[in-house]
Amino acid sequence: MMFQAVTNKLNKFERKLRRAFGDDISTPLKRAEAIAHYQLMDHAFFRFLWTNFDKVADGVFRSNQPTDWRWKAYKKMGIKAVLNLRGPDNYSPYLFEKETLDDLGILLVDAKIYARKPPKKDELLHLINCLKTMPKPFLLHCKSGADRAGLASALYLLIVEGEPLEVARQQLSWRYLHLKFTKTGIVDHILDVFEEQTKDTGMDFETWVHQHYSRDAMKESFAAEKRAWF
């Protein structure tokens, strides 16, 4: 109990500190602060060499949050567009990403989803629409490239490429540091529920989202599944 209380206080302090600076790159001083914020609060230094980069399908790639030199390398690869699964923000990761992509002439599209909770129905439908309409070649990314990027990649294979669910699920694996038994298992749970509810009808994923998907129901069933594990 005491350990949990200390952990909660530390997490609260870290969240407060993360929002205390790094929201301005308009002056040299503010830019320096934003760089420090990006490296320390967003852990960009971990991603200098570790990229979690992989090919999803022809013209589609996934990764963690790229750093500046990687954007330039992806431009040379021919990347025309980027699907940012972290969503728009006023802090350093997004500010630097938008600035760099604008300079490089790469289209930036935002489709915010989450690693530890299910998306709202409209957020999920927006993601699906983006996956179907993004110009290729494109890169999709979240922060670590493990969970949100895994779900988006799985949905691309399932919806756009027409791959079977067992093939799409391979995008959610330990290979990308995705761990199903943690809270990030919610992204696997979405696919599990889809499979269970459509096994007798063969309904496609997008139709299922329109007709049956419920964020609240997803939360409840995942919580029940976690209780069953323990």
Bond into 164 cis (ω within 30): no
| Domain that residue 164 falls in | 45-229
Q: Which residues make beta-bridge pairs with 57?
A: 60
Domain assignment present for 206: yes
Q: Which residues make beta-bridge pairs with 107?
A: 81
Vertex 126 angle, CA 122 and 128, to 5°: 120
pLDDT at 167: 98
The DSSP-derived string for the chain is -HHHHHHHHHHHHHHHHHTSS----SSHHHHHHHHHHHHHTS-GGGGTT----EEEETTEEEES---HHHHHHHHHHT--EEEETT---SSHHHHHHHHHHHHHT-EEEE----SSSPPPHHHHHHHHHHHHHPPSSEEEE-SSSSSHHHHHHHHIIIIIS---HHHHGGGSSGGGT--TTSGGGHHHHHHHHHHHHHTTT---HHHHHHHH--HHHHHHHHHHHHHHH-
Domain assignment present for 207: yes
Closest CA to 109 of 136, 80, 130: 130
pLDDT in tens, 15-34: 666 677 789 999 999 999 99
CA distance 23 to 89: 9
Domain assignment present for 15: no
The stretches in the chain having pLDDT less than 70 are 1-18, 229-230
pLDDT at 17: 62
Domain assignment present for 59: yes
Domain assignment present for 192: yes
Whole-model pTM?
0.91
* CATH number for the domain harbouring residue 149: 3.90.190.10
pLDDT at 128: 98
pLDDT at 6: 44
pLDDT at 9: 56
Domain assignment present for 16: no
pLDDT in tens, 39-81: 999 899 989 889 999 999 999 999 999 998 999 999 999 999 9
pLDDT at 20: 73
CA-based max dimension of the chain = 60
pLDDT at 105: 97
Number of domains in the chain: 1
